[in-house]
Structure formats: C-alpha cells, structure tokens
Amino acid sequence: KKIILFKKEGTVMAKVVTADEAIKLIPDGATVLIVPMPSEEVYPAFARVYEKTGHPKDLTVVWAAGLGPLNEEPKGMNHFAVPGMVKRIICGHAGLNHKILKFIASNQVEAYNLPQGTMCQLYREIAAGRPGLLTTVGLGTFIDPRYGGGKVNERTKNCEDLSEIVVIDGKEYIFYKAFKCDVGIIRGTSADPYGNITVEREALIMEILEGAMAVKNSGGFVIAQVEKLRDKPAKPYEVKVPGVFVDYIVVASSPEAHPQTLFVQYDPSFCGEVHADLEKELPIMPLNFEKVIARRAFLELKPGMVINLGFGIPMGVARVAYEEGLFEKIKMTTEIGVIGGVPETGKNFGPAKNPEAFISQSAMFDFYDGGGLDITCVGMAQVDEEGNVNVSKVGSIAIGPGGFINLTQSAKKLVFCGEFSAKG
C-alpha cells in the first residue's frame, strides 16, 4: 500500500512503497546514482524485478566507495552484475565485489574507474548545475584522459571520454564532466512524517545529501531505504537529508535487510550510542609480518598529526598506535567521513569504534585534496624500480583506485605498506 506521508498545497513530498514498486518506476536506460551503504532491501529488488519483467534494462550504475562482501555473495554492489540490466558502470572501487570484477573483466559491461573522492565532489557540481569538476587529482595516472581516462576493459576503449585536460595559467587540470542522474538510492535510519531522513544508528553518512541533491536537480527521483518510520517530526539538527530531496521511502522488511555494515548487524560504538572499552575490545596484534610492517609505519607518526589509513596491512597501524600509547595524541580519519576513534580492520573497513564526528565523504575529500592530511599509510599491489605504484588493476581485474589517488596526490607524507610477495 502506498501511503502519502506529507501533503501541503497539493505537493506530495514522499511515498512509502515496497522495494519492488520503487524499482518498477525506473525507466530503461536510466543513470542510477547509488550511495553505497548496505541497503539490502532495495538492492536485491533490481535483479528480482528485471528477472520478472525484463525492466529496467540498459542502466548506467554509478557509485564511489566500494561496498561488498569480498566474494561473490549477492550483497552490496554484487547485486548489479546482471547482463542486460546494467550497460555501464562508473565507480571508484569494485574490488570488494567479485561478481562485479568478473562482470567487468569478461566485457559484459562498459566500465570506468574514477577517483573515489572526485566522484563524490562531482555530485555537488551536478547538484549546482555546473558543467563539471576541475581538479589536479588523477593527473599522470590511468585516470588521466591521455592514459586511458579510467576505461578499464576492452569494451569501453571506444566509448566516450568522461574527462578532458584543461590548462589554466599554464597549469594542467583534469575536467571531469557532469552527467544527468535519473535515480538516486540512499539510506538512513528513519524517515519522519515529512520524509526527512535521519542517521542516528548509521556507522557512516557517506554522501547521501550530495547524491540526493544531484539527482533531484537533474530532474530525477530519490529512493531512500530506512529502518523505521517516525510518528513525529525529527528535530531539525537530526535531519541529514531533508524530505524535499526524497520521493520514495522503502522500509526494511527485516533487520537483516538493513544491517549497519555488511559484516556487523549493529555495533552501538560505531554510531556513538555507547563508548566501547577499547582495552577489552582490541586484542594485542600477534607479532607477524603484518605487525612488523605496521610498527615501521607507526614510527612515522608524530603527535598532532591527522592520519589516514588505507585498506589491508595499513589498518594495523591504528592498533599499534593504540598499543604504544600514541592514540590520544593523533587523529585518525577514514576517507568515507569518520573522524577520530579506532578504524575497523579486516573486511569491516570503514567505520570506527568510538568515532568523534561524521562528515560527508565529499567534505572529507575536500579536506584531503586541500592538503589537510599530514600522512597516509596505504597499500600497494605492484611497485616498480622507479617507485610507480599500482593498486587499481591486476591483469584483467579492475579493482579501482578508491581514494588512493586523492590521498597520494595530496598528503604531506606517504607510507606504502606491503609484503612484496603477491599471491604467496
């Protein structure tokens, strides 16, 4: 049953619908902007509706950060590895979604990788009606239109460029072109009677506002998955996406369809509901090669530094800093918008225990790109004798750069952490 939540002077602000009803509204050939949070009520509906009806088809699906189970399970972005349903993928990272990796490698889809932070920032340009984003991020890398423009498989080589080189006062920039967004998929904790979206139980807020605004100002519609509906209006300071940017609301049918992360159903220390006792919850890291590397990277940290840690071995640096008593004198951040706390390690990378603040991913990359980051510790897949580093593509597998390019082209100091023994 569709329920009109709010109506004033003939204007319908938002409707509650099922996930299948929402997906049936998407036209063929649409560009779908997904803010990648674990919306496991809405995402599965795409393939389910397509299998039943043959629509929507020929979609362009856009996401920035990766969200996936690190295997081929039907979770996260793996839901979109459907031939015919999806024609093109534009993403910052795909490595956590093994079905997507095979989908791209087998040339079943057109595929572009762009820097994760640049994509989030581009959403704001789209929302503001500007022609695109001008930045130095990506120069000299495979994202540079002179070196491939982020096209990551054979099928995409003859497709149009999504960026171009611009010279201003003798300095080169990459201009990432704006594009029209037809549908937006976002997520929050609750929706109030006005359709306002709150995030009180979320581990991250990502770029839900920027994504919703980009879609609405492109003339599209926004679908928001929430855990529950509120009977009374939310307090203004609780609202992260105002109802004027939301068209349809899908309420999760079970807790499993609305997990806090793909690997944790709910941890109250991720959202500040409780303050975790870190001494009890963080076991001492075993002394293995990963800890040796993390300890060496830790020696580069100094009190007062603002720090970013990448996926993989670098995540151990936070644990070593905590063990060594430096943690209270530095500030850890993650590119997806978490400030303070102890970043999660392993598959659950992204949230942090006892975070101090959340900002949008777009705002965090503004801070990084502007030079605010003192040091980043990142991983590596390949390094040559000249110090060139590859993290984005191994053979035919297009992992994507994630935030790596933004981070390494802006941080004051770079520490690369790896074991130099690929595949054992």
Indicate which residues carry an active-site annotation.
Answer: 335
Neighbours of 183 (CB within 10 A): 25
- Rounded to 10°, the helix 116-127/361-369 angle is 110
CA distance 112 to 119: 12
CA distance 280 to 391: 34
CA distance 116 to 96: 14
